[in-house]
Amino acid sequence: MSWARSLPGPLRRSLSRLVHAAWDGAAELGAIGPDDPWGRRFGRMGQGACLLFPQGAVYNEHLIHIGAQTIVGPGASISAGMAPGQEMPTDPVVSIGSRCLIGRGSHIVGHWEIVIGDDIQTGPYVYITDQNHSYADPDAPIGRQWPSNAPVSVGAGSWLGAGAIILPGTVIGRNVVVGAGSVVRGHVPDRCVVAGVPAKVIRAYVAGDGWLPMRADRRDRERLADAGPLPGTQLPDAQLSGTQLPDAQLPDAQLPDTQLPDTQRVEGVPEPPHPVF
């Protein structure tokens, strides 16, 4: 039995209420908004935006833009560069749109350019980065080899499930669902569901046909290509210094239709649940 549990009941309950009241007060006072001294360090923080307490590693805030009414969950880290005070070649390095919800414990680690669109929701512990270790010399320690950068963009209206990892060079279209635990690299088209390691398109919305499971045959590839982006939502191609990235891969075999719980379906459209901070 711990010393706290050995205290007399009335005293222990009183101290417990005091500790929780102090924590609630710290959460209120420790949250960062646009009018707070810490909030004014950001390159831009829109009205109604808030970083909930306790924050993770947040530094070089002047290179980070956060849109209006965006909520960043407790323990989430948002950084520009490897260390506070580092000079960066781009400004802003990290841009988060309006009305986003970033789950607790998530990491957004920018070194070149990360653009997160409006109305993005993520589950907890999502990791997004635009830098990776290189492996040019098989004999040198990987951690000592010069890293490579490639910009990342996540289209508006998308949902990133818990534990998803978004790697450098990824371009995710609009209204995309990324399954929990997926590892994403390459180009992901609009209006689809990707999942797996590496992430593959498992469902896609095709105009006139609705939501369809995707296979690796030529017919489904042509359907997805013909569907095109949502009107007026074409994302610019990432500038990757000539490096060609593969599109999100299609599975080798037909996958069964992904059934979401009834409480999360809206007339054929996979509606992501509200994130848990």
Q: What is the pLDDT of residue 260?
A: 35
Q: What is the pLDDT of residue 255?
A: 36
Q: What is the pLDDT of residue 259?
A: 38
CB 209 within 8 A of CB 246: no
Q: Is the dihedral of CA 248, 251, 257, 261 positive or negative?
A: negative
For 232-269, the pLDDT digits (tens) are: 334 333 333 333 334 444 344 333 343 333 333 334 43
Judge whether 274 counts as a catalytic residue.
Answer: no
pTM of the model: 0.77
Torsion angles phi and psi, residue 29, rounded to 5: -75, -30
Helix, strand, or coil (residue 203): strand
CB 76 within 8 A of CB 50: no
d(CA 57, CA 249): 33
Q: What is the pLDDT of residue 273?
A: 41
Cα 50 to the chain's mean position, in Å?
16
Superfamily of domain 24-134+142-230+243-258: Hexapeptide repeat proteins (2.160.10.10)
d(CA 185, CA 172): 9
Q: What is the pLDDT of residue 6?
A: 84
**Bridge partners of residue 276, in order along the sequence:** none
Longest CA–CA separation in the chain, Å? 73
DSSP letter for 212, please.
Answer: E
Q: What is the DSSP string of 249-275?
A: BPPSS-----PPPGGGEETTEEPPPPP
For 54-98, the pLDDT digits (tens) are: 999 999 999 999 999 999 999 999 999 999 999 999 999 999 999
Q: What is the pLDDT of residue 253?
A: 36
- The residue from 65, 133, 187, 274 that is catalytic is 133
What does DSSP say about strands 159-160 and 165-166: parallel, antiparallel, or unpaired?
unpaired
**Bridge partners of residue 177, in order along the sequence:** 159, 193
Listed as ranges, residues in the chain with pLDDT below 70 are 1, 215-277
Domain boundaries, the chain: 24-134+142-230+243-258
Q: What is the pLDDT of residue 11?
A: 87
